[in-house]
Amino acid sequence: MALLKQSKDWQHTRTIADKKLRSDEFKRLSKEAGFTPAAIITFARTCKNEAGWKDRLGSNVTQRIAEQVFAAMQQYAFGKRGRPRFKGASRPPAFA
């Protein structure tokens, strides 16, 4: 994401006044960089399988988690929210 935001195309797109055109350009740049929900889901599935969680975590759960991660990163990318922080293994669950 940081490299995408540093690119000259991204910086130029930020200056476009027409909201529709600017939105279309951001979508095109994101797709070219591989910042799409499908790419994140594929990455999550690969990580799950290589980490040995293939039998313990279903594909639907993996896909839902990846979609939530993508939504958080997309909001961060467009300045709607701060940098996402995800729970680590040492952080206790909220429903304990």
Q: What is the pLDDT of residue 38?
A: 92
Least confident of 12-16, 29-33, 75-79: 75-79
In this structure, which long-range contacts are made by residues 39-42, counting pairs with CB atoms below 8 Å and at least 24 apart in sequence?
Answer: 40/66, 40/67, 40/69, 40/70, 40/73, 41/66, 41/67, 41/70
State the pLDDT confidence band at 64, using cuts at 50, 70 and 90: very high
Mean pLDDT over 59-84 rounds to 88
